[in-house]
Amino acid sequence: MSTLLEVSGVSVSFDGFRAINNLSIQIAEPEMRAVIGPNGAGKTTFMDIVTGKTRPDEGRITWGDRSISLIGMNESQIAQEGIGRKFQKPTVFEAQTVRENIVMALKNPRGPFDLLFKRRMSGLEDRVRGISDEIGLTDALDQTSGALSHGQKQWLEIGMLLAQDPRLLLVDEPAAGMTPAEREHTTDLLVRAAKTRAVVVVEHDMEFVRRLNCKVTCLHQGSVLAEGSLDHVTKNQDVIDVYLGR
């Protein structure tokens, strides 16, 4: 296990409000990590910073074996470095088929001319099939993804994330709006993915976090309040105050 992502001393303010305040987190590879915290704790902003959507005011973010800095890189460059992100609201391309969605996400050259002239990509169909089997959407491959159920869209998005073959997956509330059976399936998918790569899950649902059975980081007011096993974190007096004291 080696450190894959290191966030140290990062702060960011919006109009004077400090959304992230001197935040430091290390993620190893492979690892499963759950990030919890009350609303406004900075969980989503943390993801925005790592994926390049928001630029931090100060601090360092280093990535990979050569410890390159992610600050100053744009979203697509960071994604190509191997950081994939799943949004809270499922965002698949609803006008396109499940297959088109997966093919778009598959790790391949990403310039316009690459797509125009290198049409035949090796083993494309097998790779698509592998992903769709994993997320249970093989029968729906040629269906418009807008017609999928909410849970299926969540899976398709996780599948697109897997298709990118990232080293780090950032997953925002994957179980929101899912039935218990769907949640179980989602847990399995994430746990399997975390065997070979780093997976960071932001989640409100403690039951879901318990099932992930992993190290937990609790954020509050933009910095780390407690870190450790779920039991350790939930017994922490500060965490109890923050969650129950409001």
Partner 1 sequence: MNNSFISRNPSVMWFLLCLAVFTFAVTLLSEASGATFISTSFLKTLGKTLCLCLVAVAMDVVWGYCGILSLGHFAFFGIGGYAIGMWLMYERTREIVETSMSANVLPPTPDEITTAIGSQIFGVVGGSEFPAIWAFSHSLTLQLLAVVLVPGLLALVFGWLAFRSRVTGVYLSILTQAMTLALSLYFFQNDTGLRGNNGLSGLQNIPGLSDVSQATLSLWFFWASAVALGLGYVLFAWITAGKLGSVIRAVRDNEARVRFLGYHVESYKLFVFTITAMVAGIAGALYYPQAGIINPAEITPIASIYLAVWVAIGGRGRLYGAVLGAAAVSLMSSWFTGGSAQDINLGFYVVKWTDWWLVLLGATFVAVTLFFPKGIGGLFDLLPRKKGENA
* Least Å from the CB of residue 153 to partner 1: 13
* Least Å from the CB of residue 147 to partner 1: 15
- Beginning with the edge strand found earlier in the chain, give each strand of the sheet holding 58-63 in spatial order: 17-29, 2-14, 58-63, 68-69
Nearer to partner 1, 28 or 79 (CB): 79
Nearer to partner 1, 103 or 242 (CB): 103
* Least Å from the CB of residue 160 to partner 1: 7
Question: What is the rounded CA–CA span in Å between residue 198 and residue 88?
Answer: 19
Helix (H) or strand (E) holding 7: strand 2-14
Nearer to partner 1, 101 or 217 (CB): 101
* Least Å from the CB of residue 183 to partner 1: 24
Nearer to partner 1, 87 or 243 (CB): 87
Question: What is the rounded CA–CA span in Å between residue 219 and residue 75?
Answer: 24
Applying CB under 8 A, which residues contact partner 1?
51, 53, 74-77, 79-80, 84-85, 87, 91, 93-96, 100, 103-105, 110-113, 115-116, 119, 160, 164
Give Dmax over CA atoms of the chain in angstroms: 60
Residue linked to tokens 């017994």: 235
Angle between helices 150-163 and 98-105 (to 10 degrees): 30
